[in-house]
Amino acid sequence: MFADLLLEEIQPGEIDVKNIPDIELTESLEYDLQKMLEEEEGSFSKVSNKTSVVQTDKNYVFFSNQWLYLAVLCKKYAESLKPYGDFFDNKLRGNQHVMSALVKKDFTDADWIELIPEQVDRERMIKFIEADSTYRPGKALLNGDKARSIKDIFGSCILKKIAVPDASSAYLGNLIYYLAKRPDLYDRLEKEVTLQIGNVGNAKKLSRITKDCARQIIDVIYNIDKFEKIKSLLEVNEKNIKVNISKTGKLLPAGNFLRYLFARPNSDLYAGDKARVFVDKEYIISFETENVECRLTTEWVDSEIAEGGNGNYLKALIAIVNEYYKENIEIKTILGERYLYMIKEKFELQDLPEVLKTDFARRYITSLLAKPFVILTGNSGTGKTRISKQFAEYLEWKSDDGKKNWVIIPVGADWTDNTKILGYYNPLAEDGKGKYEKTKIVELIEEANRHKEIPYFVILDEMNLSHVERYFSDFLSHMETPDTPFELEGYAGRLDYPENMFVVGTVNIDETTYMFSPKVLDRANVIEFKPQKEDVFKVFSAAETVGKMVPVNDGSAQAFLKLAKEIRTGKFAVDEDLTHYYTDVDGDFTGSNLDYVEGVFSDIYEIVQKYDFEFAFRTVKEIRNYIAAAYELLEKTEFNLNQIIDEQLLQKILPKIHGNKKEIGQMLDELTGLCDKYSLVLSKKKIEQMKGKLAKVQYASFI
């Protein structure tokens, strides 16, 4: 019935004064917190993004929103304390007979026992009422024959549990009490504060149980290198393996802080009734002379490290791991919780699984890095949806409440406006109170705004099953101007377009679909999927297995987003290497990488502008980003500038070309000559296909 208020896992976390930023609230949290204070105090309250003020009687209380950080530190304790107060108010306060017995300390009263049948719960409630200094500090609930308010008790108890002065922080207890009455709001506040205190996007939350936390850490470093980085610290005897703390230099004070880290098979602790190890896993440590089998001890303490300590100290393990594995992981404590961060400095193609090591996959990933909007076109069944889904699964990340960072949305033929993308306000919902009906995309946008360090993917399947401009134009506009928030009538709060969102559209061309306008094509890299004959007929000889991609969970998602941001902000490393010079086929052009790119696209521009298909600043910028992305992804020996230029002519310039023979016939011939001049193989092949279609039906387009 009542939680043990002495449980280690519910105690308020320590105040980390070095890690407290200004807490800036979202508009929706501001609104709901202000509403909470107005309801509780019945008077003026104002919550802004950094500070708050509330009127109590004739006085005003001003407080920094860093108090909300303190409220989150106390959340687990407050949630455990609240059922005591609720029970007292609902079952005891109005029961004169039982209250009289409590005042007299007659704890054998039959009515009292009937209300709380379990003895352990009665003992806990008595300690709560009497304010046992160890169990529940603060004021006693009973003041003579009168009972204080639970709000008063709640506040006095909380203020004894954290290192703040009672006099200047008295209202903090009220604030925490009000939040405890509203668990949904408390949860939202906790998520927001946690995000601002520390970036936990690429982190694994570690167990609060000391031995399980140690097990999680040990398993991670074992998977990295089988303890290779700390092997020099290990000392082996017949029964145990310990860490020699003296070998860590000045990292830790003198002591025996990891004195029997592992037990060997001939130890009494290894198995049986006396086992003091995790019996479900063996570790094999390779030393020069032998491979040693062992099991991890379950005997751990989470005490502070002091000179002369003896035992297995979790904090010592964390200190050693943070030092010796600092290139791989980092363990941080945030709001009383421990998080293990996987560190990955750079996203690299060589780390991808084999299924994503194809030329199409490389072009797809490069396109995403250059611009977060990619269109995949091709016949049905060519693998467009599959590759976009597999890459999203590979970089999959889930929030604490299980929400993943990607979604596939099948576009319907009835998508005639933006409500299928951005939702709408329903005035009849919730018995006429009204409600904004969110789509999965809006929910993903909200999540992306909460976790700005994680890439989020929207995959619009069969994007042209309806007129794209009708349902997508508003979204496309915000994609180009992310600083402008969405204007959604009836939506509570502000909804920004997240710069960590990637949009992928798959396109089939048949009698049931619609063509794209140049406005849409101009804003994307368009990749056409055409599997080779050999790949198609492999299915006869060997069934292709395409299961769900296993999320990599090694920091690749964060590294991918970091690289994308660097590229989009103007990084152009390909031009920094001036050892590469090019001379064109006529021998009359020499220059740096960037000069060469400019020369080729200048020639392309001279051709297409004569036929009113010229391109502008945005296209040039995105081509530049694509080349930079390719240069960052590929090994320098594999980087072929002509190949990358070829891909951009194919994916950025040709998709907008369409018309009859009179309009585009001569232009296609001139572009063919340019492809021959610069060895642009892919583009020439596509142009020849368009010319063939032009000869057959007198009209041609890229898609």
User: pLDDT at residue 623 above 70?
Assistant: yes
Residue 548, pLDDT score: 66
Q: How far apart are CA 517 and CA 524, in angstroms?
A: 12
Domains of the chain and CATH, by start: 8-197 (no CATH), 203-342 (no CATH), 349-559 (3.40.50.300), 570-701 (no CATH)
Distance CA 516, CA 122 (A): 71
H-type helices in 438-580, by residue range? 440-450, 468-480, 518-521, 533-541, 556-568
pTM: 0.62
What is the length of the chain?
703
Question: In 10 A of CB 541, how many CB atoms?
Answer: 6
Query: From residue 389, how far is each of 43, 353, 382, 395, 551 by CA, in Å?
Result: 52, 14, 13, 10, 12
Sheet holding 59-64, edge to edge: 45-47, 51-56, 59-64
What's residue 683's pLDDT? Answer: 97
228 with 305: CB under 8 angstroms? Answer: no
The residue whose two tokens read 């079952």 is: 91
Tens digit of each residue's pLDDT (9 = 90 or more) over 170-193 = 889 999 999 999 999 999 898 778
Indicate the pLDDT class of residue 140, thresholds 50, 70 and 90: very high
Q: What is the pLDDT of residues 294-334, one digit of tens each?
A: 999 999 999 999 999 999 999 999 999 999 998 888 898 87
DSSP strand pairing (262-263 vs 424-426): unpaired
pLDDT-based confidence at residue 577 (cuts at 50, 70, 90): low
Asked whether residue 462 carries a pLDDT value surpassing 70, the answer given is yes
pLDDT tens-digit map of 75-87: 999 999 999 999 9
Distances (CA, A) of 372 to 147, 519, 562: 61, 16, 13
Measure the N-to-C terminal CA separation of the chain; round to a whole number of Å. Answer: 66
Q: In this predicted model, which residue has the larger pLDDT, 240 or 50?
A: 240
Beta carbons within 8 Å of 95's beta carbon, 6+ residues apart? 111, 115
What does the block give as tokens for 684? 């020439």
User: Which tokens sit at 192?
Assistant: 């927001």
pLDDT tens, position by position, 467-518: 998 999 999 999 988 888 999 999 988 899 999 999 999 998 776 678 888 7
Q: Does position 19 have pLDDT exceeding 60, yes or no?
A: no
**What kind and span of H or E run contains 121?**
helix 119-130
d(C-alpha 604, C-alpha 615), whole Å: 10
Across 409-414, average pLDDT: 94
H or E segment and range at residue 407: strand 406-410
Select the more confidently predicted residue: 361 or 194: 361
Q: What is the pLDDT of residue 483?
A: 87
| Average pLDDT of the chain to the nearest whole number | 88
Per-residue b or e along 65-84, where b marks 16 or more CB atoms closer than 10 Å to that residue's CB: bbbbbbbbbbbbbbebbbeb
Helix axes 183-197, 440-450, angle to 10 degrees: 50
Predicted confidence (pLDDT) at residue 584 exceeds the cutoff of 80: no
Largest CA distance in the chain: 107
- Per-residue pLDDT band for 579 (boundaries 50, 70, 90) equals very low
pLDDT at residue 578, as a whole number: 38
Phi and psi torsions of 150, nearest 5°: -65, -35
pLDDT band at 233; cut points 50, 70, 90: very high
pLDDT at 508: 85
CA distances from 304 to 8, 74, 312, 375, 391 (A): 14, 21, 11, 55, 44
Predicted confidence (pLDDT) per residue in 519-573, tens digit:
888 899 999 987 666 655 554 554 444 556 778 877 889 899 999 999 988 765 5
- Give me the pLDDT at residue 630, please: 93
pLDDT at 80: 94
- The continuous run of DSSP H or E covering 682 comes out as helix 681-697
Distance CA 422, CA 111 (A): 57
Q: How far is Cα 364 from Cα 384, in angstroms, rounded to an integer?
A: 10
Beta strand pairing call for 142-143 and 146-147: antiparallel
State what percent of residues in the chain have pLDDT above 70: 91
Distance separating alpha carbons of residues 495 and 417, to the nearest angstrom: 19
Q: What is the mean pLDDT of residues 162-174?
A: 80
pLDDT band at 400 (very low <50, low <70, confident <90, very high): low
Instruction: Kindly provide the residue ranges of all beta strands, DSSP E only, lying in 164-290, ordered along the sequence.
Output: 203-205, 234-236, 240-243, 262-263, 283-286
Find residue 309's DSSP bridge partners. Answer: none
What pLDDT is attached to residue 564? 95
- The pair of three-digit structure tokens given for residue 119, joined into one six-digit string: 């003895």
Which H or E run contains 456? strand 456-461
What are the strands, taking DSSP E only, across 297-372?
Answer: 329-334, 337-342
Rounded average pLDDT over 8-29: 74
Between residues 590 and 205, the one the model is more confident about:
205
pLDDT-derived band of residue 581, with 50, 70 and 90 as boundaries? very low
Q: For residues 54 and 40, is the Cβ–Cβ distance under 8 A?
A: no
Tokens 């269109």 locate to 375
Average the pLDDT over each of 142-156, 184-198, 594-608, 617-631 and give the range with the smallest value: 184-198
Q: Is the pLDDT at 430 greater than 60, yes or no? A: yes
CA distance 372 to 363: 13
